[in-house]
Amino acid sequence: MVQLVSGQTHHFSNRQCLELGFLAALRSLKTHSVIGLMITASHNKASDNGIKVADPSGGMLTPDWEPFADAIANAATPQHLLQLIDEFVKKENIPFDGVRSAEILLGRDTRPSGESLLEAAKQGINSIVDALAIDMGILTTPQLHWMVRARNKGMKATEVDYYEQLAGSFRCLIDLIPNGQKILEIDDKLVIDGANGVGGEKIEVLKKMLNGLLIEVRNSGKGGGILNEGVGADYVQKEKVVPEGFGSKDVGIRCASLDGDADRLVYFSVPSSNSNIIDLVDGDKILSLFAVFIKEQLSVLRTEGDEKIGDNYQTRFGVIQTAYANGASTDYLKQLGLEVVFTPTGVKYLHEQAARYDIGIYFEANGHGTILFSECFLSWLESRYNELSSKNKELEQHKAALRLLAVSKLINQAVGDALSGLLLVEAILQHMGWSIHNWAELYQDLPSRQLKVKVVDRTAVVTANAETMVVRPPGIQDAINAERIFTCHTAKYPQGRSFIRPSGTEDVIRVYAEASTQEAADSLASSVAKLVDQFLGFGSSR
């Protein structure tokens, strides 16, 4: 998706929404498909706002159109804007034949500025001939993306349809839990931090449709709390402390935190009543939980005892991470025998890579991610399920096939979705009979540290190998390697790993380091930051 975020001084932001309305209508006409526009600034502060564009798949706007989006958002005058649009329409051969119409679904989160920005987007859409803007109301970002995907697949696509699909798939997974599996009694309750955003109120609606899941929602936005301030997945994941409204009363209870527009999810537990520090269960461990469960179902599906049933589809199952994924999570996934692939930082790269597999899972540590299933695999899975149904519905293979089909409907394949992800986590924990503590102990995270170094020109740094190696300026990668790996044939930083990458928005270089101890990770990050300053800093002559 294109995402533009700005402060609330709102002439400029209204203009952005107007112009992205133009783009969405043109994209709809070009693709003969439904397009989505979501007014949100996600996990950013309440005074910010922005807009996201959803393509026909429900995912991101194609990269081919991103330069046009940037150009119209920065057009100096109305005349320049019209010229850009006219040139682009001719270049893309966009039809205005009166036969095809553009359809754009609009949604917004709970920010006060959302209503006026949505009206500006409507004006932009309505300025294009044969374009129709449909206001879907206040939604989570993933709900709108789900609706766009569903509409373009010819499915029902209202908010009620979204709830019914999630709730029905969740109930199916719960009904298939093996006999005797039971989470410890203290973990029966789930407490959710809604970030004072739109996700809290949507959970309240959804939980009425669920059986066997005791949910309490805090920071729902109704108690006067401020959106994303001291609450939410971004705050919890970065600060590793309890959000507002949580504390000693929650020791031992399973807790989860959404971000402001509910496309990120992390879990946590409060280990002690004497501290506000939490035990974080981040996106890496959500990914690992999903991978364990799916691998188990695939293994069951392939065999029933010693008997082979039907053809064995060679499922390509991949796990996609960025260099920011904790090294311990990568080691754990590889030990499971899974194929782990790295991409540059950014959901668009992760999503694209995941789509190359029959089953592709991606998650960032911040809790944004999803699972993708190929149409070919789902077609085979449906066929296998029907074959097994005709033979014996009590076969474990039959149950495994049904579980995987339920997962494909429960997870939001358009985009990362905190609500669908949360329900899948809950179903899998119950299936495994795991408490949050069992889950957290899958592996022990390596301590890490992130730093920023101000530089004259961030574009001087060029990376390769999914941002794990610097190819320009020459010499800096060798210096990082020399610092990181060995000194006198002895590991200076046991399990040490560090990389640098340019920021996408400001003239800083981001430094990431991890090692076996926090002291070592801090030291490695500091040493690499000094190298960055030496090669690229304000005092550097290089």
Res. 491: pLDDT tops 60: yes
Helices assigned H by DSSP within 375-417: 375-391, 396-410
Residue 228, burial from CB neighbour count under 10 angstroms (0-12, 13-18, 19+): buried
pLDDT digits (tens, 9 = 90+) for 353-400: 999 999 999 999 999 999 999 999 999 999 999 998 888 878 899 999
The β-bridge partners of 363 are: 369
pLDDT digits (tens, 9 = 90+) for 133-188: 999 999 999 999 999 999 999 999 999 999 999 999 999 999 999 876 655 444 67
> 304 among the known binding-site residues?
no
> 481 among the known binding-site residues?
no
> 42 among the known binding-site residues?
yes
Cα separation of 335 and 340, whole Å? 11
> 510 among the known binding-site residues?
yes
pLDDT score for 302: 81
Nearest 5°: phi and psi at 108?
A: -150, 155
Sequential DSSP letters for 486-519? EETTEESSTT-EEEEEE-SSSSEEEEEEE-SSHH
CATH class of the domain defined by 448-536: alpha beta
Nearest 5°: phi and psi at 267?
A: -110, 160
3-class SS string, 511-539: EEEECCCHHHHHHHHHHHHHHHHHHHCCC
Query: What CATH number was assigned to the domain covering residues 3-156?
Result: 3.40.120.10
pLDDT score for 99: 66
pLDDT score for 541: 37
> 505 among the known binding-site residues?
yes
Contact indicator for 411, 314 with CB cutoff of 8 Å: no
Of the pLDDT bands very low, low, confident and very high (cuts 50, 70, 90), residue 80 is very high
> 271 among the known binding-site residues?
no
pLDDT digits (tens, 9 = 90+) for 5-52: 333 333 347 888 899 999 999 999 999 999 999 999 888 888 888 889
Common-topology check for domains 174-280 and 284-422+433-440: yes
Sequential DSSP letters for 78-116? HHHHHHHHHHHHHHHT----SSS-EEEEEEE-S-TTHHH
The set of catalytic residues is: 42
Give percent of the chain with pLDDT exceeding 70.
91
pLDDT digits (tens, 9 = 90+) for 442-481: 999 999 999 999 999 999 999 999 999 999 999 999 999 9
The answer to whether the bond into 473 is cis (omega within 30° of 0) is yes
Of the pLDDT bands very low, low, confident and very high (cuts 50, 70, 90), residue 223 is confident
Q: Mean pLDDT across the stretch 343-358? A: 96
Q: Which CATH superfamily is domain 174-280 in?
A: Alpha-D-Glucose-1,6-Bisphosphate, subunit A, domain 3 (3.40.120.10)
CATH class of the domain defined by 284-422+433-440: alpha beta
Helices 396-410 and 418-432, packing angle to 10 deg: 160
User: pTM for the full model?
Assistant: 0.92
Cα separation of 471 and 477, whole Å? 7
pLDDT score for 308: 47
> 358 among the known binding-site residues?
no
pLDDT digits (tens, 9 = 90+) for 229-247: 999 999 999 999 999 999 9
> 261 among the known binding-site residues?
yes
> 62 among the known binding-site residues?
no
Nearest 5°: phi and psi at 404?
A: -65, -40
Res. 441: pLDDT tops 60: yes
Q: Is the dihedral of CA 138, 229, 362, 175 positive or negative?
A: negative
pLDDT digits (tens, 9 = 90+) for 395-426: 899 999 999 999 999 999 999 999 999 999 99
Domain ranges for the chain, please list them. 3-156, 174-280, 284-422+433-440, 448-536
Residue 46's closest CA among 367, 260, 262?
260
> 302 among the known binding-site residues?
no
